[in-house]
Amino acid sequence: MSSQLIAQSADFDQKLQAVANKYEAVGLAIVVVKDGAPVYNNAIGYKNLDTKAPLTTDNLFRIASISKSFSSTAIMQLVEKGKISLSDDFSDLVGFKVRNPKFPNTKITLEMVLSHRSSINDSNGYFELDVINPEKNANWAKSYNDYEPGKGYQYCNLNFNMVGAVLERLTNIRFDQYIKQQILSPIGLEAGYCVDSLDQSRFATLYDKQDGVFKAQTSAYNPRSEEIRNYKMGISTPVFSPTGGMKISANDLAKYMMMHMNYGQSGTTKIISKKSSKRMQKGLSSKENYGLALLENFKLIPGEHMIGHTGSAYGLYSNMFFEPKKKFGFIVITNGCVPTMDADDDILLSKEVIRLLYSEFVKK
């Protein structure tokens, strides 16, 4: 089922289907924004391979690492209120010592954590905060790289599970509820991190191709109900996976994207200030151009300066990219495909679909 406000070429549907077929997409959900408003949404393929239920742009996906930007948005709200600063020592915020043992005198700041310049890595895992807590794990030092904090970049999921815990410690509100209260509800999004709070009939099954067969990844929507019943604020936060656990539809992700495209403004509702929004969108690492859970991308569409993020987990590949000055953007999500990559480490399915959408709806 598609909806469009712009006339499309006679062969566009065939071109889109051809790209999906080339990479064996189980399903593909798409929203195109132009001049600051959605002009096209469409879903092809399946929500579930067993039932053959068709995918829609209202189905919920676990969108993986695009989730990180919800935490950084919430952090920027607290920075604006003067409750914290991006230059704060992260140790003071998270409640245990966060120091690279090779550079013990170098403060690891909140900004370094949000921009993956903290020198922290995922070697010890990221599902428990204890892995990096010197008082809880004898091997905590493995969680740090050899370079000085602030002087290098490594993408790290532990960074954002810790940021989620910081939000709880600062607000005394459970992470999933705080994000709903501060971001989701004000924008009007039916989304969230807590599986049991959502309409599970809307979940798109995620598929990973193993040994030539697409296999359902049911653990993607593990409700973690028992862990939530025994929840400890500021400690149990990774249960909700701030780093990758947001469940949201393509349509609602487009609304969230438009808020960032409009520098923090969603209709008449201000989520963050223009200054905070631009801070999030400004790349801080020279090679990666990664900001505060949003990155600058100069290669996705030749000649265009895009802002956004990708996600990949459980066979899903998600994309949220926008051009804030020209007011166009794209949501492209697949719940399973053959993940062929190019020399830029981009998933070709995603890149080819986005370039097709740009040519069809934005460029002409």
Euclidean distance between CA atoms 89 and 67, whole angstroms: 24
Q: pLDDT tens track of the chain, all 364 residues?
A: 455 566 677 899 999 999 999 999 999 999 999 999 999 999 999 999 999 999 999 999 999 999 999 999 999 999 999 999 999 999 999 999 999 999 999 999 999 999 999 999 999 999 999 999 999 999 999 999 999 999 999 999 999 999 999 999 999 999 999 999 999 999 999 999 999 999 999 999 999 999 999 999 999 999 999 999 999 999 999 999 999 999 999 999 999 999 999 999 999 999 999 999 999 999 999 899 999 999 999 999 999 999 999 999 999 999 999 999 999 999 999 999 999 999 889 999 999 999 999 999 999 7
Which pair of structure tokens corresponds to residue 243?
């780093």
CATH class name, domain 2-61+199-227+243-363:
alpha beta
Cα dihedral sign, 182-280-168-251 = positive
- E-strand ranges in the chain read 2-4, 27-34, 37-48, 53-54, 60-62, 207-210, 213-216, 247-249, 265-266, 269-270, 295-297, 306-313, 316-323, 328-334
How does DSSP assign 251-289, residue by residue?
A: HHHHHHHHHHHTTTEETTEESS-HHHHHHHHS--STTT-
CA nearest to 325, candidates 35, 26, 99, 97: 35
The domain limits of the chain are 2-61+199-227+243-363
CB 52 within 8 A of CB 300: no
Which pair of structure tokens corresponds to residue 49?
């391979």
Phi, psi (degrees; rounded to nearest 5) at 41: -140, 145
How far is residue 240 from each of residues 53, 254, 305, measured CA to CA in Å?
28, 22, 32
Q: Cα torsion for 156, 157, 161, 166, to the nearest 10°?
A: 20
pTM summary value:
0.97
CB 354 within 8 A of CB 319: yes
